[in-house]
Homo-oligomer: A and B are copies of this chain.
């Protein structure tokens, strides 16, 4: 049972210290000479009670006086020109306060790298925005949409990547259907293949998947004088501020973005979509606050998805497993517009995961008449890892080398693209060791088949460009007169536990108990700048800034305490609310007492995130092992267990890292087994933009998951040794499962999601 298994996860976690190979010896290093008090502890979420009692107000829950509700009319055609639009009937409907369309909104506000005005007269996918209404209720707004008359002139369209590149395909944009391209080459690939004893040459395919965060996209907008206030379900409040300001021609301080609680964001919420600007303009036009929350269908049509890919892979290796050449050519669908999906970096894992002197990699974006692709949790890496790690497994089988040994044989501690060592060159090795040991990889014995059921195991590794965090990020601290502290950041908690993790960091450095810290975030007006919560960057970007602010405060405190205690400030330490002399711990005074004496009001501190190292490449790594059972008659795959080890530097809160690992693997199982946007090629209509026909995993689909933690502070990365772990756990699950299926039944699945049909067909031809 999955629930019980969570206990196992914790038990696993408790002996993680055995693998800590990096010693904190530098005097400037965090935590030197003492035990951590808050960091590393399994604190429950500080905002948990608010959430489980329903008191937390999410974007949907915002209610402002006089608030209106907005709905968007969307194109039913995959490609068409609007020849006439008449909103007059809708405008006359009782309860309607504003109607916007291309008839009354200027073309100057553009989206998608300026490829599309807010309301385009050419629609390029089913779901493209055509008009919008703000009314006294959602129902009236829906009624009004039906009163808008639109005449479309349908245009030829294409929804399949290969067909979009075929000669004579309908052009989605004037310049054709090729979008952005990325290339990389090192060494001499031809010579590499010439030196190879074995060459794997295969095509791997992945399908479009949809983000489906619990909370849909949406916002409530409100003009307070000439300042626009936006309550938005977003991963980046400052990003929304800056993008909205730019699109509306406002100075940034005239846009204030607030987000206190959020029901998840997986990349699609890291940018501003059309609906936010639409809501702002409806609020302006109506003189009222306007809430525009998307329903599941609208969000699944228009606010992003994970690109489909086609990866043509060639790997050359010596008989002993040493790689000699790696080549991959990727095509990825970007939908009708470029809005980030074209940057999903499929080839990066090919460039980085293994030592290989000769490499050629290329990816080409392809327009199709469908909703635009955008970043989706480890964008490109999930897709690339499936291709690469399946192909490596195939190579191992062909060479007769254990897949784990083949990987270790081609291990690299160096970023071959940048020609720099990794900041944590041994953390992938630690992940291999930790995961394989916890899984029992080396000692696994395949059980006898039970009737039609066969078992097998698979393994996959990954590396990941992000997780290091980066400047700019800032933090402010107020140490109150009673020794409690308010920590203020401009970050956001997208559901990952940022409020808790950052409070732990503040508590640790301030030397105060967790209950003395209140962490504030989620308001661009009152918090200092913080980056968008993407690239698993939140904790590693903010934690060093908070540390610096805390040190700033502590310095003032210790300076004051030094007079009272007659000790040099450098000899003082603050722990658990008390200041004491390191070499005479009986010389002590409480923080509150010093505050009351010198600053009964407040001691203020500011901190900022320092730069990343220039002589190291900071990346994160991980390994997952899966065991599956395949029914060779029905093609049913049961995932029996997954063991995951992920390098995320220092673990601030093991409970929350577990959550990310469990969540990531859950989403990865959807990617591997069931999730696929289906478009009817005849009509261009998306058949499953909902949660009934689009199948995300349920609790019954999730196997026991063991998080065999790798807790290696990466002190080269930043002053806290913390790296992010929001994205990595989704990356290697699909190939681990695919490799396990092959191990069980000898069928190599080269298209994700894996269908019973493909598996049965494979079994049939095997």
Chain A positions near chain B (C-beta within 8 angstroms): 46-47, 49-50, 55, 57, 61, 63, 65, 224-225, 227, 238, 242, 245, 251-254, 472, 474, 476, 478, 480-486, 488, 515-518, 520, 523, 525-529, 599, 601-602, 604, 606, 608
Contact = CB atoms under 8 A, between A and B. Distances in A.
Given A245-B482, A604-B608, A55 B224 contact: yes
Given A251-B515, A253-B517, A254-B518, 9 more contacts: A50-B224, A252-B482, A253-B518, A472-B601, A472-B602, A486-B525, A520-B525, A529-B601, A529-B602
B516 A253 contact: yes
Contacts of A515: 251
Contact of A604 (B50, B242, B474, B516): B474
Among A47, A478, A608, max chain B CB count under 10 A is at A478
A608 B225 CA distance: 30
B480 A252 contact: yes
Copies in the complex: 2
A608 to B, nearest CB: 7
B518 A525 contact: yes
A527 B488 CA distance: 9
A188 B608 CA distance: 63
A121 to B, nearest CB: 31
A520 B224 CA distance: 13
Contact of A474 (B55, B63, B488, B602): B602
A305 to B, nearest CB: 29
Contacts of A245: 482
Contacts of A481: 242, 252
Contacts of A526: 486, 488, 520, 523, 526-527
Contacts of A55: 224
Given A61-B65, A472-B599, A523-B526, A253 B604 contact: no
A528 B225 contact: no
A648 B653 CA distance: 55
Contacts of A488: 525-526
Contacts of A520: 525-526
A249 to B, nearest CB: 11
Nearest to A481: B252
Contacts of A528: 478, 602, 604
30 contacts: A47-B225, A49-B225, A50-B224, A50-B225, A55-B224, A57-B65, A63-B65, A227-B518, A251-B482, A251-B515, A252-B480, A252-B482, A252-B484, A253-B480, A253-B484, A253-B518, A254-B518, A472-B602, A474-B602, A476-B476, A478-B528, A486-B525, A488-B526, A518-B525, A520-B525, A526-B526, A528-B602, A528-B604, A604-B606, A604-B608
Contacts of A518: 227, 253-254, 525
Contacts of A480: 251-253
Nearest to A472: B601
A136 B61 CA distance: 21
A57 to B, nearest CB: 7
Nearest to A256: B518
Contacts of A604: 474, 476, 528, 606, 608
Nearest to A473: B601
A61 B65 CA distance: 9
A428 to B, nearest CB: 32
A400 to B, nearest CB: 54
Among A483, A599, A604, max chain B CB count under 10 A is at A604
Nearest to A523: B526
A202 to B, nearest CB: 44
The 7 closest A-B pairs by CB, nearest first: A526-B526, A253-B484, A529-B602, A251-B484, A529-B601, A472-B601, A253-B518
A636 B286 CA distance: 53
Nearest to A488: B526
A251 B516 contact: yes
B253 A485 contact: yes
Contacts of A47: 225
A531 to B, nearest CB: 8
A497 to B, nearest CB: 15
A551 to B, nearest CB: 15
A529 B600 CA distance: 10
A484 B50 CA distance: 35
A527 B527 CA distance: 9
A237 to B, nearest CB: 13
A543 to B, nearest CB: 18
Contacts of A63: 63, 65
Contacts of A238: 601
Contacts of A61: 65
A604 B475 CA distance: 10
Contacts of A50: 224-225
A254 B485 CA distance: 10
Nearest to A50: B225
A620 to B, nearest CB: 24
A227 to B, nearest CB: 7
Nearest to A241: B480
A252 B721 CA distance: 32
A522 to B, nearest CB: 10
A500 to B, nearest CB: 12
B529 A478 contact: yes
Contact of A253 (B486, B527, B529): B486
Nearest to A56: B224
Contacts of A253: 480, 484-486, 516-518
Contacts of A529: 478, 601-602
A267 B618 CA distance: 58
Contacts of A227: 518
Nearest to A223: B55
Contacts of A476: 476, 604
A254 B65 contact: no
Contacts of A602: 472, 474, 528-529
A47 B608 CA distance: 32
Contacts of A482: 245, 251-252
A227 B478 CA distance: 17
